[in-house]
């Protein structure tokens, strides 16, 4: 099997949010898609290890928020590389309740969904949600997973369906927080002291040389 074929599948970059006893929770998801148009339903795939998976299962509700190409990269850093089990991911970002679910202000649009079915796999749950409400918050271009990888040089969280172990190899300087691997044209040592990780916002001092 040529595993590079998996890089040719096209995805967006989304936040999936829910509630944990009144506390907003969420994580990055790239595997989300519309399943039926009338009634409108969306499927989203979440790793069993994601705390958001547990919360969606417990509450029966989730949102899918579409991120724009020019969204605050800290949204991806915070929601993609930390866990809601330990951290209030919403603390650093303005957010509102929309369609009864927490939605960060930086989202391009959102879908509020009620779980109507699910399919279990060895590592992920595919939740099928009926879309109760949806709206567009801003103009912009939806970020694709290809854009995230090619333009933002973003990395894949180890519990994403699209994670491939090969991604671990190579590189010179890696962020200890989010594992972002620096690949800019300027040598890392010459970056200014106030330079921060473009993904999670960690300072330059949190990078380690491989």
Show the DSSP H helices in the chain as ranges.
Answer: 51-59, 73-81, 145-150
* Given 22, 38, 185, 205, the residue binding a copy of itself (CB under 8 A): 38
* Given 22, 39, 94, 192, the residue binding a copy of itself (CB under 8 A): 39
Matching residue, tokens 């989304």: 14
Could you say whether residue 161 binds a copy of itself (CB under 8 A)?
A: yes
Compute the Cα dihedral for 80, 106, 17, 41 and give only its sign.
Answer: negative
Could you say whether residue 83 binds a copy of itself (CB under 8 A)?
A: no
**Which of these, 13, 65, 35, lies nearest to 130 by C-alpha position?**
35
* Given 17, 18, 31, 84, the residue binding a copy of itself (CB under 8 A): 31
**Which of these, 48, 61, 50, lies nearest to 22 by C-alpha position?**
61
Q: Which CB atom, from 164 or from 183, has the smaller least distance to a copy of itself?
A: 164
Q: Where in 164-193 is the site for a copy of itself (CB under 8 A)? A: 164
Could you say whether residue 10 binds a copy of itself (CB under 8 A)?
A: yes
d(CA 125, CA 136): 27
Which residues here bind a copy of itself, judged by CB under 8 A? 1-6, 8-12, 31-43, 45, 66, 108-111, 117-119, 121-124, 126, 128, 131-136, 142-146, 160-164
């Amino acid at each position: 099997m040529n595993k590079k074929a998996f890089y040719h599948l096209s995805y967006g970059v989304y936040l999936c949010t829910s509630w944990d006893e009144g506390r907003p929770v969420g994580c990055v998801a790239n595997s989300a898609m519309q399943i039926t148009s009338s009634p409108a339903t969306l499927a989203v795939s979440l790793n069993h290890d994601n705390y958001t998976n547990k919360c969606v299962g417990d509450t029966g509700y989730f949102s899918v928020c579409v991120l724009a190409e020019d969204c605050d990269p800290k949204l991806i850093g915070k929601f993609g590389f930390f866990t809601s089990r330990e951290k209030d991911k919403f603390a650093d970002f303005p957010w509102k309740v929309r369609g009864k679910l927490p939605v960060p202000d930086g989202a391009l649009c959102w879908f509020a969904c009620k779980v109507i079915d699910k399919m279990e796999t060895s590592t992920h749950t595919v939740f099928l949600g009926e879309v109760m409400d949806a709206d567009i918050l801003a103009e912009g271009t939806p970020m694709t997973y290809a854009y995230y990888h090619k333009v933002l040089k973003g990395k894949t969280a180890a519990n994403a369906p699209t994670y491939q172990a090969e991604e671990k190899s190579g590189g010179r300087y890696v962020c200890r927080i989010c594992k972002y691997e620096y690949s800019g044209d300027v040598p890392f040592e010459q970056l200014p002291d106030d330079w921060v990780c473009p993904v999670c916002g960690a300072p330059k001092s949190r990078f380690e040389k491989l």
